[in-house]
Amino acid sequence: MRNVRMTGRERVSRMLKRKDQDCIPRMESFWGDTIKRWRGEGMNEDPNIMVGNDFQGLCWSEPFPYPGQDVTIREDADTVTKRDAWGQINRYWKYREGTPEHVAFPCETREDWETKLKPRLLELGPAVDLKGACWALKVGRRQGRWCHLTGLETFEMTRHLLGDENTMIAMIDDPEYLVDVSRTMTDLVLRDFQYLVDNGIEPDGVWIYGDMAYRGGLLCGPPLYRELVWPDHQRMAQWAHDRGWPFIYHTDGDVNGVVEDYIKAGFDCLQPLEAKARMDVRNLCPDFGDRLAFIGNCDVMVYATNDREAIEEEVRSKIEAGKATRGYGYHSDHSVPPSVSWDTYCFVVDLVDKYGNYE
């Protein structure tokens, strides 16, 4: 069992500063199809409660240009094509989860941005739910969790508006355009966060989500990242630090080549460390663990083998590498897929209990 002597709030705060804790902080993410499978296998409890979630999100800042838009354009027996709140047109599977097919994006040209999207975004009000944030903070404080403001970062939002192809082209052919989009979207998220703070929300930190890499490497080269995106990453981290709050960054993919840049930007923690993209706390902690905390990296592809010996070695080795720095929290390396059985996941939680305590 987990050796609980601290609240989650205390535990996470100390982990981010690499101070002594009773046990590693914990959280997890699950596919919806995974929960469906587990219910059929006898799951009778909330897996988040079973894991022992130490974190509480207070909001989600995602400044849509068309809030509430969800228009079906066409559908067939297996798929449905919709225009969403970003203005994207995407094709989704009807009966199973998976990455949608991107059909079109709202911002095809710089003129689209300057005459339509940017004015529309700037005229909209805050994109966060104050009442919901107040309720979440009350719950988080009552349960002793580490409460955080949450939202998207600039590279993710830019790609939502322009699409991957147009984003990469703009980085080379029209960097001023790319920077204007990036700066504007960062301004909007920080505006949302400040709105909550001005209305009495007092978090413990900031957690920003955005995928800037895939399993083969960064979606843009490190020099372009440093020139065009890094300044807004640094600005978000500085906003948090100016208020005394740590900054956690989520990105999938192989970001080994820019970890030093993250540290220079002021990132305090990196999550979820996708194992199939060559992220490995057994290497990261010795190299960066004195300056950066880590959450995650337990390989869900190993979980999906349902091989208990392999799973134990995966969980044990990753947790022990993280514990050596006092700056590590448990999470899978992405989110738990439906190929993992309920019985296997219960075994994973038992392993986190077994290896996650500090003496």
Q: What is the pLDDT of residues 259-308, one digit of tens each?
A: 999 999 999 999 999 999 999 999 999 999 999 999 999 999 999 999 99
User: What pLDDT digit, counting tens, does each position of 201-251 carry?
Assistant: 999 999 999 999 999 999 999 999 999 999 999 999 999 999 999 999 999
Give the gyration radius of the chain's Cα atoms.
Answer: 20
Question: How far is 255 from 263, CA to CA, in rounded Å?
Answer: 12
pLDDT at 158: 97
pLDDT at 2: 85
Is the pLDDT at 4 greater than 90? The verdict is no
Exposure letters 109-127 (e unless 16+ CB within 10 A, then b):
ebebbeeebbeebeeeebb
Report residue 1's pLDDT band, with 50, 70 and 90 as the boundaries.
confident
Supply the DSSP string of 84-104, one letter for each residue.
Answer: -TTS-EEEEESSS--PPEEEE
pLDDT at 342: 97
Exposure letters 245-254 (e unless 16+ CB within 10 A, then b):
bbbbbbbbbb
Among residues 205, 269, 207, 208, the alpha carbon closest in space to that of 242 is found at 205
Domains of the chain: 8-65+107-355 (3.20.20.210), 66-105 (no CATH)
Chain centre to alpha carbon of residue 318: 20
**Token pair listed for 31:** 């596919």
Among residues 333, 335, 330, the alpha carbon closest in space to that of 350 is found at 330
CA angle, residues 95, 79, 160, in degrees to nearest 5: 100
Is 0.75 topped by the overall pTM? yes
